Structure 1
Amino acid sequence: MSKINCITPFVPAKDFELSLRFYTDLGFTKVVAIENAIRLGMEGNGFWLQNYYVEEWANNVMLCLYVDDIESWWSKINSLNIKERFGDTARVLSSPHDQEGGRMMQITDPSGVLWHIREGI
């Protein structure tokens, strides 16, 4: 069996342009675009942002982003003023806190996709 290079999820977008702005504000960049999706990446990792939305699906998608320094991510997220820039669509659910043997925080994107941002792996 050959080596796995990457697993890349597809993420739904209720308002594609708003979600794209959210993710580029976080620091993701466009890698490649196809008709109804854009692959976004950061430091060799990424996902496909789809111009497609099903509420039940979006409300059940959870992604975990592992970072070296959660406090720098917390500073970045605070500097974005998510509530002011995205209204009630995107939310900061928790600041960095200890959980399950490490530090983590949670945010949602404009479509309701839940992101666990965790320090370490």
Structure 2
Amino acid sequence: MQVDDIPAFVPSKDYQQSQAFYKAFGFELTTVSEKLCLCESGECGFFLQDFYQPQLANNLMLQLSVLDIDEVYSQLHKLNDFNVKHSDITQQPWGKELNL
């Protein structure tokens, strides 16, 4: 077996607002169905779904690896229309990190 990709299915409490956030954050959105869209950046992507189950949503974590974390941190501060909670950038043994 040779795995090519393992896209996650990310739940959203407010599907329209989540779509607007990911689009403003720089992802390209492609509608798959009425309750599912593909969010892509370059060759990476995930499915955003119009589905919300609190226990799943509260335990889901994704890791987004980027080339310039400072650029991402700056971009987050420009998204004033969204209630985005994030940490400061911290240095970890594996590199710089911020939690969103």
Partner residue of 2:8?
A: 9
Displacement of 1:16: 0.3
% identity of equivalent residues: 34
Q: Deviations over 1:87-112 (max 9, x none)?
A: 4xx312x11111233100011xxxxx
Q: Does 1:23 align with 2:22?
A: yes
Partners in 1 of 2:42 and 2:11 — Cα distance?
Answer: 22
Q: Residue 35 in 1 paired to residue 34 in 2?
A: yes
Residue 50 of structure 2: aligned partner: 51
Tell which deviates more after alignment, 30-39 or 20-29.
30-39
Q: Which has the higher contact order (CA 8 A, sep 6+)?
A: 1
Alpha-carbon RMSD across the aligned residues, in angstroms, is 1.3
Q: 1:31-80 CA distances to partner (integer Å, 9 max, x unpaired)?
A: 34213100110011110000000011100000000011111111111122
SS at match of 1:95: coil
Mapped to 2, the partners of 1:76 and 1:26 lie a distance apart of: 7
Instruction: State the number of aligned residues.
Output: 100
Superposed, 1:106-117 pairs within 5 Å as: 106-107=99-100
Query: Which 4+ residue blocks in structure 1 deviate beyond 6 angstroms?
Result: none
Query: What residue ranges of structure 2 are gaps of 5+ in the alignment?
Result: none
Q: Where in structure 2 are the equivalents of 1:57-68 lying within 5 Å?
A: 57-68=56-67
What's the counterpart of residue 85 of structure 2?
Answer: 91
Q: Corresponding residue for 1:70?
A: 69
Structure 1 CA distance for aligned equivalents of residues 75 and 61 of structure 2: 21
Structure with the higher fraction of residues in strand conformation: 1
